[in-house]
Amino acid sequence: MKLKLKIWRQKNTQDKGNFKAYDVDDISPDMSFLEMIDVLNEQLETKGEEPVHFDHDCREGICGMCSMHINGRPHGPQQGVTTCQLHMRSFSDGDTITIEPWRAQGFPVLRDLMVDRSAFDRIIQAGGYVSVNTGGTPDANEIPIPKSIADEAFNAATCIGCGACVAACKNASASLFVSAKISQLALLPQGQVERKERAEKMIAQMDAEGFGACTNTGACSAECPKGISLSNIARMNREFLTAKASSDNA
């Protein structure tokens, strides 16, 4: 395959950045999208040019680092996959592919396709934890949890924090991410101690990081590689309103 790439190049957060065009050939349809960029970077380094900077780690759809806007869609044209799981057979010979970083106030561009997603870490630090008893480890079945509830909590916990939900939202809202982290703990007995303050603190931190409000369009869930449900946002809103009502009546 021969492809034309339009890639966003930006030296640092202060730089304005711009698109730069590259041609690559001999691309196998069986390559992953990241392997295709590896080929491009090898060519650039051979020419003495600066390679394209991008985040990656596991390359197995687990870590969520391989975040790219590809032809206007987070993680590219396939649903339910991260960029590293996207293969070049999803494109045709001669295609032009536009590659950008996430665009959001809460995700400042560090360089080229790399963005700073430490805002997500600070949101987790604000309330995404449970009290830990440092005594002996309890048996796994000591606290019975209905399977339906356990499944729902697990589904919320599959969020990998890649930020595709933010990139897909016209308001750059982080509501799907935050709601998944709130839901996975609010559903389980272990998460009840901090339940009220968790919703208040995490949502306050989300707002402080500059993420926008939920648009209710569902673009976040549609583009989420793990299929996180919009029902989590509804639960987050209930958790927040309950916490606020309890605080006001205290």
Determine the 3-state secondary structure of 1 from DSSP.
coil
**pLDDT at res. 138:** 67
**pLDDT at residue 210 is higher than 90:** yes
List of residues 6+ apart from 130 with CB closer than 8 A: 185, 190, 191, 193, 194
List of residues 6+ apart from 22 with CB closer than 8 A: 4, 5, 7, 40, 44
Q: How confident is the model at residue 246 (pLDDT cuts 50, 70, 90)?
A: confident
Same domain, 235 and 212: yes
Residue pair 3/24 in contact by the 8 Å Cβ criterion: yes
| Bridge partners, residue 114, by sequence | 111
Instruction: Say which DSSP state 32 is in.
Output: B
Judged on CB neighbours under 10 Å (0-12, 13-18, 19+), 199 is buried
The half-sphere exposure of 62 on its side-chain side, counting CA atoms within 13 A, is 4
**pLDDT at residue 137 is higher than 90:** no
pLDDT: which is higher, 75 or 134:
75
Domain that includes residue 91, residue range: 3-110
pLDDT in tens, 166-183: 999 999 999 999 999 999
Same domain, 124 and 223: yes
Q: Which of 110, 134, 159 is the last residue of a domain?
A: 110
Can you list the positions of beta strands (E) in the chain? 3-9, 18-24, 69-70, 73-74, 96-100, 109-111, 114-115
Q: Which of 110, 144, 172 is the last residue of a domain?
A: 110
pLDDT in tens, 27-60: 999 999 999 999 999 999 999 999 999 999 999 9
Q: How confident is the model at residue 250 (pLDDT cuts 50, 70, 90)?
A: low
> Can you give the CATH number for the domain in which 80 is found?
3.10.20.30
Give me the number of domains the chain comprises.
2
**pLDDT at residue 133 is higher than 90:** no
Q: What are phi and psi of 19, to 5 degrees?
A: -80, 145
> Can you give the CATH number for the domain in which 122 is found?
1.10.1060.10
**pLDDT at res. 134:** 61
Same domain, 82 and 133: no
Average of per-residue pLDDT across 149-165: 96
Same domain, 157 and 38: no
Q: Which of 55, 84, 110 is the last residue of a domain?
A: 110
